[in-house]
């Protein structure tokens, strides 16, 4: 009995040491390791959601079906999802840029880790380089037989960030949530005024449409559908965030402002908008222009 007890205690001790080692290792993940973990996190999250949906459907069936096995699987997926999140939490909180990013409403440990993993500040002299790499530049096309001109994982991550900014737009102190909210009003006003009629025409002629869809009804009226208006507002907020991220990161890494000044145009005004929750040690010369 004592042997079993001693063995149990030994196992617990080894597990604790392993946990501590892994946590220490998480502080210095390589970008490749971080990219893998971010992708793994979203995979496990998707699996957990699928299990939850299936369990809910089976539990409410008539008669209800047994869900013990699926429940166990869902629990394992949730555990693994949370364990990966812990690693990314440690990684992003131990990086000065990740630390700043996480002060932003809508940016969590996983999205912060994804940005750190996918962006190489040494290859991005301007925010525009990151916009292009993330597929956020209007007019970017991927033709058959050509190399994709953007990073698909980073583009997806930026979409998730845009959705997050939209979700926090009801909070008055959520900086980029409010940017999204104001830009949405601006986009709706322009859309209703017919300023996007040319874009609507191009979309209308791009394929055969089901005339019963809301998208077709908007395009035929010379307007963009509501979903595209929301995406435009999200993209604007994300591009401003990326510009701010670039400034903070560039100044931290190179101890100077990015080389190319640029202007931000927001609701008809030309202003310099400094990054929130950040006091630059350098005289501000950076400007940014998130355009559609």
Confidence bin at 221 (pLDDT 50/70/90):
very high
Q: What percent of the chain has pLDDT over 90?
A: 59
Which residue, chain included where needed, has tokens 């932003």?
Answer: 104
At 29, is the secondary structure helix, strand, or coil?
coil
Amino acid 57: pLDDT: 85
How does residue 271 score in pLDDT terms, banded at 50, 70 and 90? Answer: low
Structure tokens at 19: 């946990």
Work out the pLDDT band at 237, boundaries 50, 70, 90: very high
Instruction: Note the pTM of the prediction, 2 decimals.
Output: 0.84
Q: What's the pLDDT score for residue 19?
A: 78
User: What residues contact 147, with CB distance under 8 A and at least 6 apart?
Assistant: none
Q: Distance between CA 116 and CA 121 in Å, rounded?
A: 9
Query: Residue 21's pLDDT band (boundaries 50, 70, 90)?
Result: confident
Does 17 have pLDDT greater than 80?
no
- Express each pLDDT in 100-158 by its tens digit: 999 999 999 999 999 999 999 999 998 989 999 999 988 778 887 888 889 999 999 99
Angstrom distance (rounded) from CA 39 to CA 153: 8
Asked if residues 269 and 287 have their Cβ atoms less than 8 Å apart, the reply is no
Alpha-helix residue ranges (DSSP H) falling in the chain: 2-26, 31-59, 68-93, 96-101, 109-118, 127-133, 152-167, 175-192, 197-204, 214-220, 226-254
154-194 confidence digits (pLDDT tens)? 999 999 999 999 999 999 999 999 999 999 999 999 999 99
Which of 97-101, 259-263, 266-270 is predicted with the least confidence, judged by mean pLDDT? 266-270
More confident: 108 or 14: 108
pLDDT at residue 10 tops 50: no
Q: What is the pLDDT at residue 285?
A: 53
* 32-36, 120-124, 146-150, 274-278: the lowest-pLDDT one: 146-150
For helices 226-254 and 175-192, the axis angle rounded to 10 degrees is 140
> What are the pLDDT digits (tens) for 186-217?
999 999 999 999 999 999 998 889 999 999 99
SS3 266: strand
Give the tens place of pLDDT for each residue, 69-109.
888 888 888 888 888 899 999 999 999 999 999 999 999 99
CA dihedral for 126, 127, 130, 134, sign (positive or negative): negative
Q: Residue written as tokens 């992003």? A: 92
pLDDT at residue number 268: 41
């Amino acid at each position: 009995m004592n042997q079993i007890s001693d063995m149990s205690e030994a196992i617990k001790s080894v597990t604790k040491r392993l946990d501590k080692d892994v946590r220490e290792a998480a502080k210095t993940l390589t970008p490749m390791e971080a990219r893998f973990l971010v992708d793994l996190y979203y995979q496990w999250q998707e699996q957990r959601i699928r299990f939850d949906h299936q369990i809910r459907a089976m539990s409410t069936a008539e008669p209800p079906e047994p869900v013990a096995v699926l429940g166990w699987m869902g629990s394992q997926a949730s555990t693994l999802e949370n364990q990966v999140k812990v690693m990314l939490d440690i990684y992003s909180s131990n990086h000065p840029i990740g630390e700043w990013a996480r002060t932003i409403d809508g940016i969590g440990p996983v999205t912060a880790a994804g940005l750190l993993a996918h962006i190489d500040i040494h290859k991005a002299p301007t925010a525009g380089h990151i916009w292009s790499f993330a597929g956020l530049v209007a007019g970017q096309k991927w033709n058959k037989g050509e190399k994709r001109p953007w990073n698909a994982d980073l583009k997806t991550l930026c979409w998730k960030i845009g959705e997050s900014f939209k979700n926090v737009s009801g909070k008055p102190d959520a900086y980029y949530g409010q940017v999204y909210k104001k830009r949405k009003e601006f986009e709706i006003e322009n859309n209703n005024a017919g300023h996007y009629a040319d874009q609507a025409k191009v979309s209308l002629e791009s394929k055969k449409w089901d005339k019963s869809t809301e998208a077709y009804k908007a395009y035929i009226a010379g307007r963009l559908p509501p979903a595209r208006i929301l995406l435009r507002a999200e993209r604007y907020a994300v591009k401003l965030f990326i510009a701010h991220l670039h400034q903070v990161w560039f100044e931290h890494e190179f101890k100077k402002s990015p080389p190319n000044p640029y202007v931000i145009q927001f609701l008809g005004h030309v202003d310099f908008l400094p990054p929130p929750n950040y006091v630059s040690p350098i005289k501000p010369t950076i400007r940014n222009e998130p355009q559609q």
